Amino acid sequence: MKKIHYILFFLLCQLSQLNAQDFRFALITDTHIADNTSAAEDLKNSIEQINATPNLDFVLVTGDISENGDRKSLQIAHDLLSQLKLRYYIIPGNHETKWSESGVTAFSQLFGSERFTFEHKGFLFLGFNSGPLMRMADGHVAPQDITWLKKQLSKVGKKKPVILVTHYPLQEGDVDNWFDVTDAVRAYNIRVVLGGHYHSNKFLSYDGIPGILNRSNLRAKSAVGGYSVYDITKDSLLVYEHNIDSPMKKWASLSLSKQYFQEKGSSQKYPDFKVNNEYPQVKKVWLIQSGVGIYSSPAYDGKNIFVGDDMGYLTCYDVRNGKKRWRFKSGSRIVGTPAVANNTIVFGSADQYIYGVNAGNGKLSWKVKASSPVLGAVAIENNIAYIGASDHTFRAINIQNGTIIWEYNQVKGYIETRPLLTDHKVIFGAWDNTLYALDKQTGREVWKWTGGLTRMHFSPAAVWPVAADGKVFITDPERAMTAIDLETGETIWRTKRSMVRETIGLSEDQKRIYSKTMNDSIVCYSTQGNRPTPIWATNVGFGYEHAPSMPVEKGKVVFGSTKSGIMFGLDAYSGNVLWKHKVGNSLINTLVPLNRNQVLFTASGGEIGLLEWQEKYNK
C-alpha cells in the first residue's frame, strides 16, 4: 500500500506540473544596506537592471536587507525596492531579527509582514522568518510560524507544487529546528526551498528536499553586484546568476517532475537526547508546550511564574503544576524579561509601552508610553522599576502607580539588557559600544565605558552585568571579559584568554564570576584583585555556543543553559558537572533556579517548565 501511495503521489505531482505555465522571476538576497557602504548602490543597480529585463513576473527578496536591522536602513531599502516595476515579496534575515531596535516590528510596518503567501501560474510560494529573534543563537523557525505553514499547505492540498522561501538554509548548524520544518512540509508537493545567507550559489538537500542558496546582491570583491533569475518550465527549474551589465549564466537546474524525497524522512536527522539517559536523576516536574516562541526568562514571585512571549502575551502559571492562572495581552511581542515585586509584574513590549499588571489577577494597573519599542529586561528595587527602551531613554518608574521618577535620554543605541542595581548606581549596556552608570536616585550620569570598542556588533548590550569587590564585570562579542572600576568607570583588567561572549554570572558569596566560552566550557574567575585570576574551567561538552544565557548560582550550584536545548548544573567551587538535561533543540533562556535542586526554564521553541534533580540517585 505504501508503494502504491507513493506512485500515486508521484503521478499527481507530474499532472500538477502539466497545469502550470512557464514563468520567470528574479531573486535578490543579502543586500546589507548600511551607511557609508556601496550596498545601496548595488541594490539600485540590480533594480534598474531588473526593470529593464523583459518577461520577469515578480521578485523575491530573501533577507538580510540591512546590516544592523535599524529602521533607517530598512527605510532606504524600502524606498529603493519601491522603484521596482514588478511586485516583490520579502522576508527578513538574521540581521533584521537579531539586531533590531524595533524588536523586528519596523520590518512588518514597512513591508507588511514577516511572511508572505501567494500563488502564481499554478505554484504556491510561502516565505517565512527563520530567525533568530533578538537573542544570538542558531536560526529558528518559531512554533507559530510552523503552525502557519501547515495551515497554508493544508488549504491547497498535496497536489499543488510549492516553493518555500527562507533566509537560512534548513539544515543542521543553521536552523536549530530545521527538521520540524521539513517534517511539517514533506507530505506536500514541495519542489524547492530558496534562500540566501551564505552569499554564494549553492545546491543543498534538506533531508531530501532540494535547497538552493543564492549569491549576495553585494559586489564584495567584484566590480559589480548581482542577483539570481529563475525559469520555471513545464518540467524544470533553471537557475541563473545575473551580474550587473553581464549576460545571465545558468549554474543549476532542477527537475519539477522527479520526486526527490519520500513522505517519511530520515530518522538520522533528529537531535540526540542520550545525555538524559546519562543523568537519570533529572526529571521534569512539569512541562508546557506553549506553541509560541519565548525569548525571555520567567519572573517568579514565590507562588507563580510570569512568562512573556512572541505573540505579546504575558501569562501567569502556578509554579507547583504549571497550570495557567491568567493571561494579559499587550500590543506586540515581549522580548525583555519581566520582574515582579509587591504584587506588580512589570514588563516592556514592542508596542512601545511599559506595563504594570496586577500579579494576582492579571488586570492592568498602569502603563507608560515610550516613543519606540521597549525591549529591555526589568530590575526592581524598593518599588522602583528600572528599564531601558529603544527611544534612547532609560527610565525609573514607581511600580505602585506608574509614575516616572526620572528619565535619562542620552543613550545612543537601543537597550535590551537587564540593568544592574548596585552601590547607588544603575548600570546597563546598549547597542552603541557603551556601558552606562547612572545615579540610582536621580538618573544623573556617573560614568560611561566604551573600552575602545568601535563596532556596534561588539557592544556590551546583551550581557547582564554583575558587580563585586568594587568592580563591574561584563563580557562582550569581542570575546573579552572585563573588570571595570565601579566608582570611576576605568578599565581594571580585560582578557580574551577564555574566548567568552555575552554571558556573566556572580557567585552568592560574590567571590567568583562565571562565563560560557564559545566552545564546550564554563570558566570561573576570581572577583578579587586587579588582574584576571582563573579558578577553574569545566568542559561541559555543549559544543559551539554563543547564546546570551547567563550562568546563575543558587545553593552552591551554577545553573547554565545553551542554544541547543541543554541545561546543566555545576558545583560552584570545583566546577564538577552535577547534571545535564536536554529539552528540545533551541535556545534555553537564562535559568531561574528556585533552590539548589529545582530550576525554571523557558525556550525559544515555546517550552516552559520546572526541572528537578536528585543529589543521591540509585539507578
Domain with residue 365: its CATH number is 2.40.128.630
pLDDT tens by residue, 368-420: 999 999 999 999 999 999 999 999 999 999 999 999 999 999 999 999 999 99
Cα–Cα distance measured from residue 251 to residue 499, given in angstroms and rounded to the nearest whole number: 40
What pLDDT score does 35 carry?
87
Give the tens place of pLDDT for each residue, 455-501.
999 999 999 999 999 999 999 999 999 999 999 999 999 999 999 99
Co-location of 241 and 99 in the same domain: yes
| pLDDT score of 289 more than 80 | yes
Q: What is the extent of the structural domain holding 135? A: 2-263
Q: Which are the contacts of 298, defined by CB distance < 8 A and separation ≥ 6?
A: 305, 306, 307, 337, 592, 600, 601, 602, 608
Question: What is the reported pLDDT for 36?
Answer: 83
- Please compute the mean of the pLDDT values over residues 579-603 and round it to a whole number: 98
CB 481 within 8 A of CB 494: yes
Residue 50, C-alpha cell as written in the block: 531588473
The answer to whether 60 touches 194, Cβ cutoff 8 Å, is yes
| Residue 7, domain member (yes or no) | yes
Given a cut of 50, whether residue 230 has pLDDT beyond it is yes
Asked whether residue 316 is domain-assigned, the answer is no
Domain identity same for 218 and 123? yes
Average pLDDT over residues 309-329: 98
The C-alpha cell at 203 is 545546491
Q: Quick check: 8 pLDDT over 70?
A: no
CATH assignment of the domain containing 29: 3.60.21.10
Kindly tell me if the per-residue pLDDT of 130 is higher than 90.
yes
In a domain, residue 327? The reply is no
**DSSP of 64-113:** --BSS--HHHHHHHHHHHTT-SS-EEEE--HHHHTS-TTTTHHHHHHHS-
Of 562 and 268, the one with more pLDDT: 562
User: Residue 253: inside a domain, yes or no?
Assistant: yes
Backbone phi, then psi, for 97, in 5-degree steps? -100, -30
Contacts with 201 (C-beta within 8 Å, 6 or more apart), sequence order? 212, 213, 214, 215, 228, 239, 241, 251, 252
CA nearest neighbour of 566 among 587, 537, 592:
587
Query: Are residues 283 and 221 part of one domain?
Result: no
pLDDT tops 80 at residue 22: yes
What value does the mean pLDDT take over residues 70-90? 97
Q: Residue 299 falls within a domain, yes or no?
A: no
In a domain, 307, yes or no: no
Q: Which 3-state string (H, E, C) describes 209-249?
A: EEEEECCCCCCCCCCCCEEEEEEECCCEEEEEEEECCCCCE
Question: How many Cα atoms occupy the beta-carbon half-sphere of 46 within 13 Å?
Answer: 33
Q: Which three cell numbers stand for residue 598?
A: 529545582
Tell me if residue 277 falls in helix, strand or coil: helix
Query: Is there a domain that residue 362 lies in?
Result: yes
Same domain, 509 and 437: no
Residue that terminates a domain, selected from 461, 495, 523:
461
Under 8 Å between Cβ of 354 and 376: no
**Percent over 70 (pLDDT), the chain:** 96
* H-run or E-run covering 178: helix 178-185
Q: What cell was used for 443?
A: 538618573
In degrees, rounded to 5, the angle at the alpha carbon of residue 302 between the alpha carbons of residues 299 and 306 is 25
Same domain, 229 and 288: no
- Whether 15 and 156 map to the same domain: the answer is yes
The burial class, CB within 10 Å (0-12 / 13-18 / 19+), for 324 is exposed
Please say if the pLDDT value at position 159 is more than 90.
yes
- Please state, in angstroms and rounded to a whole number, the distance separating the CA atoms of residues 260 and 463: 44
Spatial contact of 39 and 32, defined as CB atoms under 8 Å apart: yes
Q: What is the mean pLDDT of residues 49-58?
A: 97
- Report whether pLDDT(88) > 60: yes
Question: So what's the pLDDT on residue 14?
Answer: 42
Of residues 8 and 606, more confidently modeled: 606
* pLDDT band (50, 70, 90) for residue 10: very low
pLDDT of residue 616: 76
Both 425 and 500 in a single domain? Answer: no
- Domain end, chosen from 414, 439, 461, is at 461
By the 8 A CB rule, do 265 and 207 touch?
Answer: yes
What is the rounded distance in angstroms from the CA atom of residue 27 to the CA atom of residue 142? 24
Please count the other Cβ atoms lying within 10 Å of the Cβ belonging to residue 53.
Answer: 14
3-state secondary structure of 370: coil
Going by DSSP bridges, is the β-strand pair 282-289/249-255 parallel, antiparallel, or unpaired? unpaired
Q: Write the CA distances from 234 to 125, 144, 256, integer angstroms.
A: 17, 34, 8
pLDDT in tens, 138-155: 999 999 999 999 999 999
For the segment 333-355, the average pLDDT, to the nearest whole number, is: 98
Q: What integer pLDDT is reported at residue 20 of this predicted model?
A: 52
Task: Based on the fold, state whether residues 114 and 9 are members of the same structural domain.
Answer: yes
pTM for the model: 0.93
The number of domains in the chain is 3
Same domain, 446 and 486: no
Determine the average pLDDT of the residues in 436-456. 96
Residue 609 maps to which CATH number?
A: 2.130.10.10
> Is 406 domain-assigned?
yes
- To the nearest whole number, what is the mean pLDDT of the chain? 95
Domain boundary among the residues 461, 480, 511 is at 461
Cβ contact 430:437 at 8 Å? no
Grid cell for residue 21: 505555465
444 with 515, same domain: the answer is no
227 and 279 within one domain: no
Q: Is the peptide bond before 132 cis (omega within 30 degrees of 0)?
A: yes
With a cut of 90, say whether residue 18 has pLDDT above it. no
Q: Is 611 helix (H, G, I), strand (E, B) or coil?
A: strand
Provide the pLDDT for residue 3: 39
Residue spans of beta strands (DSSP E) within 404-485: 404-408, 420-422, 425-430, 434-439, 445-449, 466-468, 471-476, 480-485
DSSP 537-559: EEEEEEEE-------EEETTEEE
- 67 in the same domain as 171: yes
